[in-house]
Structure 1
Amino acid sequence: MKSILIIEDNAEIALQMKKYLINEGYEVDIASSYYEAIYNMNVDIDVALLDINLPDKDGHHLIKKLKKKDIRVIVTTVKNDEDFIIASLDQGADDYLVKPFSLAMLRARIDAVLRTIALAEDEFITYKDIKIDLIKSEVYFKEELVELTALEYEILLLFIKNPHRVYTRGQLLEMFWEDRDRFVNDNTLTSTIKRVREKLDREVITTVRGIGYRMD
């Protein structure tokens, strides 16, 4: 049974989520503050639902602490603000939900990040019509071999290992380009994503407007 930690100071919202997730088969605990969340991190947790606006300390400080314990983090917030969301993702959050959100959407997002935990480093990774041979570093789309550059391959591999996770442009920059200023001038990331889409499927990596990209 997968374990969920709800970090939320609104008791009504927290209890509503807890009741729903327990009925969906999850094991659920609630922390209503930063320090209560720190205490609860001592037990095994798979996913944390983190409300950034905590009463005792900014919840952003929790993201890296949770990630160090290999806990997936979904930020929940009332602030539908691009800079705020980007800051959360850059600090390591796996996904985000803007309140109010449906409980069905919450479960779908939890299931999506849980799939990244279960992904094993086998010989092949398959996602929809894409199959990657990890031994040979070959990519197949609808059973046809696709020629990718080394950079295109590494970017595709990142997304296919983390489906539904949003990566900001800043995160991708730091991962794949050392020269940040040159990238900004050349718009290299946009061009690289475009080439991957053209070689596979235009919908394989979707744009999250104003924030970055995700694989749906």
Structure 2
Amino acid sequence: MKTETVQWLAQFGIEPADRDLWKQALTHGSYGTDEPDYERLEFLGDRVLGIAIADWLYQRNTGSEGTLSQRLNALVSRATCARVARRIGLPEHVRMGKQARDDGGADSDNILGDVMEALLGASFVERGFEATREWVRTIWAVEVEGKAGIAKHPKSALQEWAAGNRRRMPDYEVVDKSGPDHSSRFTVRVSVPNVGAAQATASSKQEAETAAAKKFMERYG
């Protein structure tokens, strides 16, 4: 592990005892066939992050289960993990092959999110849950104090709008599906009788419904 990386971890109070473990957490699959990558630690870190954030939200909030779940999902999302990773300076410490780095891998939400979770996995293995939870509370503070997950989901917002305006509930219809099974594209149309309709296309039916509801609210809400 590079001296710069050891110094970077030290600013969070982390002094790696098993440097190979932390090196693995920072290693992308493109780095080399002889190097174990972060995937197993990412699997573990994903669960550690979930319970750490859930515990934090439970202590902070009096909201309903649905409200807490909405915030949890936003705070542990790949995009949020990547945002935290960038803010703490993780990208320059990710170990990846030259081609992957040249292709922008060090700024990929997918890779940064995975590596961030892998580091939490390494922290859990070496330092235990309590220390890892405190680290999460330090580096996720901006997100938890912010509004991530507070805004209503577009489908919920549309349903409430329809009820509040004494309209029939929105109707979602898949009007087109294209592409192979592993890369399908769904086009969904949402309509409210006597008001209008909107449609959107995405890689899953759920995402297309969400995007269509958002467009509907922007147009008619």
TM-score (norm 1): 0.32
Larger Rg: 2
The structure whose residues are more often helix, as a share, is: 2
TM-score (norm 2): 0.31
Q: Which has the higher contact order (CA 8 A, sep 6+)?
A: 2
